[in-house]
Amino acid sequence: MRIIVIGQAAFGAKVVEALLEQGEKIIAVYGPPERPGSRPDPIREIALSRDIPVSQPTTYKDDLVFAQYRDLNPDLTILAFVTAIIPPRFFELPAKGAICYHPSILPRHRGASAINWAIIMGDLRSGLTVFWPDGGIDTGPILLQKEVEIGPEATTGSLYFDHLFPMGVEAILESVALIRAGKAPRIPQSREGATYEPPCNDRVAGIDWNKSAREVYNLVRGCDPQPGAYGYWQGEQVRFFSAALSQEPTSEAPGTVVAVDSRGVHLALRGGRLIVAKVRAAKGGKVDGAAFVAERNLKVGERFHGEPEKGE
């Protein structure tokens, strides 16, 4: 089959590499436009290293971009980690259609931050879906799905890189084999259980210290590594990473520093403690929690807040 891959980042590059290793014919790769001063996207690098033509349109709504795509005459288009808006005509043109990887068990957690929300909302299982895009937001018929348990200490980063990334590459290879054999199903998504959440950004990542210990912990690990759940100390935004939850009780107000040790900064919660190993302030990179405390002369008994305190 004549395959076009639209994707980006390490996942897109790995899909291209895996397809080539399996003997597939990739006639073109589409990736994101270059950003001034940034490194070339990995999918561009792997494509050029294998003499595969690369296109990096700033928009897929341009008729000329579609005309060039149409002239390639693809049999199958694979969407491997795509954040751009792609019109349905790109899915309808290939002889065998188009398939898309999504890191959730659809129809639950549609949208751009599916992995984050699975953890933030306390899901015990996650997984991936390969589906036939139809122009809606993750609404097309399902080709296949795979599930994985979400461990109690999993973060968005660990769930993706340890499980959903490698599983996703294998799922795409399996899907291509089913399509070639004429055995790929198109199972309509159920309307029951469908959810759609917004992007996980700073509008989501602010900590409400009045929530339960489990809810705060889920937010912190769901925002790790990006964007980083945050609180405020002396008016400065501080993000928390590599956190653990302790059931050890405390009578201090939520957000209060109750201890500092080799594990990190212990913050009081409603029903436990958040032990933060890494923090990142507004300026600078991640540092050990204990180092941050020493550098800022933060003392036991001082408190993080959900927003800058008045007057700061």
- Per-residue pLDDT, 312: 45
Cα–Cα distance for residue pair 71/298, rounded to 1 Å: 63
Torsion of CA 241, 244, 248, 252, to 10 degrees: 10
pLDDT of residue 310: 62
pLDDT reported for residue 284: 85
Question: Rounded to the nearest 10 degrees, how much is the dihedral formed by the CA atoms of 45, 48, 50, 54?
Answer: 110
Which residues of the chain register pLDDT less than 70? 310-312
**What's the pTM?**
0.95
- Say what the pLDDT of residue 7 is: 98
Confidence at residue 107, expressed as pLDDT on a 0 to 100 scale: 98
Can you list the domains of the chain with their CATH numbers? 2-180 (3.40.50.170), 202-296 (3.10.25.10)
Residue 209: the pLDDT is 97
Which tens digits make up the pLDDT trace of 57-80?
A: 999 999 999 999 999 999 999 999
